[in-house]
Amino acid sequence: MVGFKDLNLQPYSDKNLAKIETELLQQALFRCHGLDFRDYSFPSFRRRVRRHLVEEGIPSISALQESVLHDGGALRRFMEYVSLGRKAMFRDPVFFTALRERVFPLLKEKPMIRIWLAECATGEEVFSLAILLHEEGLLEKSRLYATDHNQRFLASAGAGIIPLNGMRESTEYYRLAGGKRPFSDYYTAAYGFALFASELRENILWGRHDLTSGDSINTFDLIICRNVIVYFNKALKERVLKMFAESLEDGGILGLGHRETLRHCAVGDSFRDINPVQKLYIKEA
């Protein structure tokens, strides 16, 4: 009979151990909290975890797992760190110019415009789009469905409040995107925050949704999900893009991020480019 002392047990390398710990963390988050990072790009997720360890002063991924399973505050801080958080408004103004010039003319004849902004984080992109629609006379007949998997982000965005400290940058981006009014017309400043005008907020519906679920929430004329699926592995990308394709009306438009594409995807043949540089695609009948 072979005893423990006879086994040639070798410790795992730090790299292999970190991989096992990261996979166990993903499983624990899913089984205990329903937070599914299992199909995220593994190197990207692991980099975010490592940076969070340094930020929090946590010695190992196993120690992080223990804290997020037992401490609600630790879980909240971790989710805010690994999620795609706050952005400047109108960031990438060329994309918003393309929406104004190439996409909105295709939507103008519709009696009602349904738009899904998936993984909207703290809402800057949502309010940017609402301002553009307002300036083109389309906001009144539009419904914007803004979703994210992070409930804390949604609470902040749904209140229509964002910090003022990024507004100088946002103002310049708005100008570059062809803004037609003084940007400050759209919000009221107080106590270090900006509160957006009620006319921008009233046609926005906020809701929690996790793209990894694969479930659609409606049918749409325009879906925008930028710089998100780049963090998914191939299988999850295919599931999400299939869901987007099924959620779009014929002639509906999909907007992706610069590093994202429909090339070599199963649904790619269902779309054609309307602006390949800005990754805008139209679903063909």
pLDDT value of residue 2:
52
pLDDT value of residue 7:
54
Q: Is 176 exposed, middle or buried (0-12, 13-18, 19+ CB in 10 A)?
A: middle
Mean local confidence (pLDDT), 84-92: 76
Residues 9 and 117 in one domain: no
Residues 74 and 173 in one domain: no
Question: 134 vs 231, which has greater pLDDT?
Answer: 134
Q: What is the pLDDT of residues 182-219, one digit of tens each?
A: 999 999 998 888 899 999 999 999 999 988 887 888 99
Domain boundary, last residue among 60, 82, 104: 82
DSSP conformational letter for 132: H
Nearest to 123 by CA among 201, 223, 212, 229: 201
Alpha carbon distance 213, 203 (integer Å)? 26
Give residue 86's pLDDT band: very low, low, confident or very high (50, 70, 90).
low
Residues 76 and 97 in one domain: no
Q: Is residue 88 part of a domain?
A: no
Per DSSP, the chain holds a count of helices (H) and strands (E) of 11, 10
Point out the least confidently predicted range of 13-17, 30-34, 263-267. Answer: 13-17
pLDDT value of residue 83:
65
Q: Is residue 229 part of a domain?
A: yes
pTM tops 0.85, yes or no: no
Nearest to 223 by CA among 271, 265, 255, 250: 255
Mean local confidence (pLDDT), 145-163: 86
Domain boundary, last residue among 82, 115, 138: 82
Q: Is residue 233 part of a domain?
A: yes
Q: State the residue for tokens 């479930």.
A: 215
**Mean pLDDT (the chain, rounded):** 88
* CATH number for 224: 3.40.50.150
Q: Is 172 exposed, middle or buried (0-12, 13-18, 19+ CB in 10 A)?
A: middle
pLDDT at 123 over 80: yes
The answer to whether the Cα torsion of 79, 84, 39, 11 is positive or negative is negative
Q: Is residue 87 part of a domain?
A: no
Beta pairing partners, 189:
194
What percent of the chain is predicted at pLDDT more than 90?
A: 50
What percent of the chain is predicted at pLDDT more than 70?
A: 93
Residues 239 and 107 in one domain: yes
Strands of the 113-117 sheet, one edge to the other? 204-208, 142-148, 113-117, 220-224, 248-255, 280-283, 271-275
Alpha carbon distance 150, 228 (integer Å)? 14
Residues 103 and 210 in one domain: yes
Residues 184 and 54 in one domain: no
Domain boundary, last residue among 22, 49, 82: 82
Question: 39 vs 117, which has greater pLDDT?
Answer: 117
Residues 277 and 211 in one domain: yes
Which pair of structure tokens corresponds to residue 218?
């409606």
Residues 249 and 158 in one domain: yes
Alpha carbon distance 252, 279 (integer Å)? 14
pLDDT value of residue 229:
86
pLDDT at 73 over 80: no
Residues 14 and 41 in one domain: yes
Residues 141 and 166 in one domain: yes
Residue span of the structural domain in which 48 resides: 4-82
Question: 196 vs 13, which has greater pLDDT?
Answer: 196
pLDDT value of residue 36:
77
Question: How many structural domains is the chain composed of?
Answer: 2
Q: What is the pLDDT of residues 215-252, one digit of tens each?
A: 888 999 999 999 888 878 888 899 999 999 999 999 99
What does DSSP say about strands 220-224 and 248-255: parallel, antiparallel, or unpaired? Answer: parallel
Mean local confidence (pLDDT), 32-51: 81
pLDDT at 1 over 70: no
Residues 73 and 180 in one domain: no
Query: What's the longest Cα–Cα distance across the chain?
Result: 83
Residues 136 and 219 in one domain: yes
Question: 101 vs 79, which has greater pLDDT?
Answer: 101
pLDDT value of residue 6:
58
Containing 238, the helix (H) or strand (E) segment is: helix 234-247
Q: Tell me the CA distances in angstroms from 207 to 107, 121, 147, 162, one per residue in order.
A: 24, 11, 5, 18
| C-alpha Rg value of the chain to the nearest Å | 21
